[in-house]
A and B are shown apart, each in its own frame.
Chain A
Amino acid sequence: MTDSLYTSVDDLLRANREADQLRFTTAGSVDDGKSTLIGRLLNDCKAIYDDQLAALNRDSKRLNREEVDLALLTDGLKAEREQGITIDVAYRYFSTPRRRFIIADTPGHEQYTRNMATGASTAHLAIILIDARHGVLTQSRRHGFIASLLGIRHLVVCVNKMDLVGYEQAVFERIRADYSAFSARLQVPDLVYIPISALRGDNVVNRSGNMPWYDGPALLPHLEHVEIGGDRNLVDFRFPVQMVNRPNQDFRGYCGQVASGVVSTGDEVVVRASGKRTRVRSIVTFDGERPLAFAGQAVTLGLEDELDISRGDMLSSPHNLPHHGREAEAMVVWMSDIPMRPGQPILFKHTTCLVRGTVSTLRYRVDPDTLHRRTASELALNEIGRVSLECFQPISWDAYAANRVTGALVMIDPHTHATLGAGMLIDRRVQPEERLLAQTRHIRRETSLVAAADRARITGVSRPCTVWLTGLSGSGKSTIAKLLEQRLIGEHRLAFLLDGDNIRHGLNRDLGFTEADRTENIRRIAETAALFNDAGLQVIAAFISPYASDRAMARELIGADRLLEVFIDTPLAVCEARDVKGLYRRARAGEIPAFTGVTAPYEAPKNPDLRIDTTRLTAEEAVEAILALLRSRER
């Protein structure tokens, strides 16, 4: 045991007055050494008392554990200790002179996604433990995804048990590369990798002499210094009214915790629901009136005018309003044994409101291990999906990505009162496909007076379709596509090439390379191809289109009967050796984030209409093969 962390009581008093709070969550598979790590952090920070340690030794012996089992510290329930499993989120506390830490320790078992989400909901940071001997597992990816989904902005990947792999840098680097390839698709701005041995104490509290090649901080110093002040939203003033405080005729105040932003006396505020404006007259606390209140503070606001305001109303700045309405989109983590089905009645707890409503649509389910989207008719326990919600009374909300308080909601069963799930609201503006879908419900297509055969006489294309070329960057898609277009035009068949780079310069110039943007990119292209096909043109589309789910979407939009999927199958090594645009070199240097094949995945088509092996066929031969396929369809 180390000496006291503080030199005098004055030190301690000052430290505790000034110390801030970091909440983090830990997760890992059963034997990743999570309990050992927590035990070590607690022990080295003197958060385990002698009698607790003695009880631990006693329990370990009684339960026939070979060594002192630190998991018994956090496994508080009888069933957990007896079965050697963690059932529920356990909260543990320790502190250093700089910070107070709250650990939400969540079980690593696959079926307990809901506990991970629960622990992550209040955490600033997540620690993901990876066993150096086993590398990145499904579980490690899943936890990263859930942390990202719940808005955690700081991820620490601890590659544990480095002592068992000889403290080899290569092992650490390989795991880092593996996990980075996956994490490029997550929305986590701060990702740190630390090689540790929780058992031996390497890089946990102090830098280890066993890994001189590692030049980053040890885990505890990192936890002490990681900057979380910027995570809070201090821009958008939001104040969900919790209750009206009216002890007598002279005082009427609105109690609540500032969800985000800052407010001062004299500031103009708007009641979002009614649009009525007033000014803040006073900010009342037990310790006297204050000139201002900011995110996180629980205060009581006195207002200049007597407006109709009650619990569930939201006060905000007039320059910057939250959304207000009955409909919203959300990612949902389902936590009930009974699956979620669209249409079922649900009570939503959102800020301080409790409103009735329903899930109107289940758009898709996300596979947390691959991040693939799957169509689904229901969401089972521990499944994650994208839904549209309908509240029967309007709520004032923000996107979860911008505001973890006003963007979160909990779903409650109105009959059993069980907590069913958790939702993270999504800003519609970045998801235009919903708007389009919503519109198509009300718009009837006009039928044309021109028959397809009449168009075919002009365009020379008897059965217009889209040849969709997919493959890695540098696989030869564009070369083949251009030749194909040339051949078709030469045969007096009106063909048009939609090419990735060209589309991104115009139609899709507002889109980046995040997963959502890539999907939207493909959606617009598919819609365009479908229109061109309607117009009687032969379309050639050449896009990397790395995700199977996106290609499936394209097939749906264009129509399965007029889409020909051609897989330009060129091995990564060949593409990289060619590197026509120098992109691979830049991606390897870390200059391009989420580059397909390097730091982002390419999901090869399983059953393409045609597979072209460019190591065996020339571009001309490839064009011939595609033309043969087109001819066979026209017969």
Chain B
Amino acid sequence: MDDYKQSNLEQLEAESIHIIREVVAEMERPVMLYSIGKDSSVMVHLARKAFHPAPIPFPLLHVDTGLKFPEMIAFRDSFCRTIGANLIVFNSGEGEQTAANPWDWGTVKCCGALKTQGLLTALREGRYDAAFGGARRDEEKSRAKERIFSFRDKHGQWDPKNQRPELWNLYNPRLDPGESIRVFPLSNWTELDVWHYIHLESIPVVPMYFAARRDVVVRDHLLIPVIDRARLPPGQVVETLECRFRTLGCWPCTGAIRSSARTVREIIQEMMTVRHSERITRIIDHDQDSSMEQKKREGYF
């Protein structure tokens, strides 16, 4: 019977494919949130696998805050072109939100305006009833409690204390008009699983994940990339250090770590000794004790 064994990664892959297909079979207008990061790369890869030989039967949606790294945008455009994906870009930093930035508004308000409101507007305008996200339960403690099919009310809000019980692989897809679900096919993947899968499947990722010499300022344990020198507080010293990004977000709120890992293999090697979680490189998560839960309640991914 050993011939019929599935490894951990094979089980995770099959589970994710099953989830993605369930959404397409049950929902009217699904969309996949594409954030350009490694988890998104894996999720899109799984979507291709789910429907092969057909193309991915839903669009990818990128909510662009206008504060993404230029390398991310370049990767996004070439990646989507190569795989033939239908990419929709929603610019959340336009219109009434043009003034939003973390320096004047603070990270909480900026995130709420550019990411949460941007996302909600994009989903509403597209009349999407299901949105895939690449979040994993091991990322953050409130995510550890979220369902794979996560119900959202008419305002896109999450009610963590009133979630639908989710048993086996039987997901409840039923909605009233205006309500929606967020779907997390990577719920049971860990950061290490994601990198192993990228390694095994040769999935392309943004080059920023690999070490290079970059201009940064050092703040506590974080290396803050210098994208806009005009935004540097007076007295900050710019250094050029070998570093890489463990997660990718908006550039003012994403820190790099010192690293010499230049390949996926070296990243996996580095993970054997790394002692900090990946979220620590995000400035937004630890504003306050339950900041992620709060943002999720309001409609954030």
Contacts and interface: CB of A to CB of B under 8 A. Distances in A.
A255 B7 contact: no
A404 interface: yes
A88 B49 contact: no
Contacts of B276: 49-51
A115 to B, nearest CB: 8
A482 to B, nearest CB: 53
Contact of B167 (A13, A88, A99, A410): A410
A12 interface: yes
A417 B168 contact: no
B272 A49 contact: no
A118 B293 contact: no
Contact of B21 (A21, A100, A243, A335): A243
Interface in A193-229: 229
A350 B172 CA distance: 11
Interface stretch (A71-79, A466-474, A565-573, A627-635): A71-79
Contacts of A277: none
Nearest to A297: B14
A350 B171 CA distance: 10
B163 A88 contact: yes
Contacts of A102: 188
Given A9-B272, A49-B276, A419 B25 contact: no
B2 interface: yes
A257 B15 CA distance: 9
Contact of B25 (A19, A247, A284, A352): A352
B8 A74 contact: no
A284 B188 contact: no
B219 interface: no
A409 B165 CA distance: 13
Given A242-B22, A242-B25, A417-B174, A20 B6 contact: yes
A145 interface: no
Contacts, number: 203
A412 B290 contact: no
A382 B143 CA distance: 25
Interface in A389-409: 404-405, 408-409
Contacts of B168: 121-122, 404-405, 408, 410
Interface string B178-222: 000000000110101100100110000000000000000000000
Contacts of B54: 245-247, 251
B217 to A, nearest CB: 20
Nearest to B170: A410
A59 B289 contact: yes
B55 A247 contact: yes
A255 B192 contact: no
Nearest to B187: A91
Contacts of A229: 1-2, 5
A4 interface: yes
Contacts of A81: 289-290
Interface of B: 1-2, 4-14, 17-18, 21-22, 24-26, 48-55, 137-138, 140-145, 160-161, 163-176, 187-188, 190, 192-193, 196, 199-200, 265, 268-269, 272-277, 280, 286, 289-290, 293-294
28 contacts: A4-B272, A9-B265, A16-B193, A20-B6, A20-B7, A51-B277, A59-B289, A74-B141, A76-B145, A81-B289, A88-B160, A93-B188, A121-B168, A242-B18, A242-B21, A243-B24, A245-B54, A247-B53, A247-B54, A297-B14, A311-B25, A349-B171, A350-B170, A352-B25, A409-B170, A410-B168, A410-B170, A412-B172
Given A77-B293, A243-B21, 6 more contacts: A4-B273, A93-B138, A229-B1, A257-B18, A284-B53, A419-B164
Interface of A: 4, 6, 9, 12-13, 16-21, 49-52, 55, 59, 62, 73-79, 81, 87-93, 95, 99-100, 102, 114-115, 117-118, 121-122, 229-230, 232, 234, 242-243, 245-247, 251, 255-257, 262, 284-287, 294-298, 300, 311, 335, 347, 349-350, 352, 354, 404-405, 408-410, 412, 417-419, 422
